[in-house]
Amino acid sequence: MPRILLLFAHPALERSRVHRKLIERIPRRDGITFQDLYERYPDFNVNVRKEQELLLLSDLVLLQHPFYWYSTPALLKQWQDLVLEHGWAYGTAGTALRGKRMANVLSTGGGAEAYRRDGFNRHTIREFLAPIEQTASLCGMEFLPPYLIQGTHRMTEADIEEAARAYSKMLEALLDDRVDLQAWRSAPSLDAIRPKTEPAGARS
């Protein structure tokens, strides 16, 4: 069973419609650690030792956040700057994170059609995530396609409720090892694949 570290970054959760519902549905069970970064470090004073410990105890790191200016909220960037130290996360001696996996869970106001080469934003989500992808890769982690919740500006309460339920199911599936890794690697996004009903087997 993969251990999940869910790093959550939202500077104004009290005003969020989507993420508040999403995190309500996060399974409360062994194997998943929920770290609310803006709640933990309101003054951007990230506790480096503590965060490194949490990373060491996990197999899959999920970065859940709204998509701000095609990137993460500022604190998640601060987290990267401070926690992924040279000699620990990367560099010749930096092997702590090797073999772990990383993916984003992100929401965008615009719909999926806006994130195409010919769309409004002229780049795909995956292209926008290049810095994080390369960060993961430099640290020896496998970067996997993101879990996307898109078009949130037009979502109704019922839509949000539905998205939260789906997200919850996916997390359960990840924890139960019911997500086929090959399928995830080749899918455009994690939300597009359908988890199996039985555990994926020894090879994940």
Q: Which residues bind other proteins (CB under 8 A)?
A: 43, 45, 47-48, 81-87, 91-92
In the bound state with other proteins, the residue whose beta carbon lies nearer, of 4 and 46, is 46
**Which single residue is written with the structure tokens 């996996």?**
101
Minimum CB separation of residue 45 from other proteins in Å reads 4
In angstroms, give the least distance from the CB of 17 to other proteins: 22
Residue 96 corresponds to which tokens in the numbers above?
């702590």
For residues 167 and 25, the answer to whether their CB atoms sit within 8 Å is: yes
At its nearest, how many Å lie between other proteins and the CB of residue 134?
16
Q: Residue ranges of the alpha helices (H) in the chain?
A: 18-24, 37-40, 48-56, 74-83, 125-128, 130-138, 157-175, 181-186
Taking a C-beta distance cutoff of 8 angstroms, is the pair 147, 167 a contact? Answer: yes
Length of the chain: 204
- Nearest distance from C-beta of residue 33 to other proteins, angstroms: 21
Between 39 and 161, name the residue whose CB sits nearer to other proteins: 39
SS3 (DSSP) at 15? helix
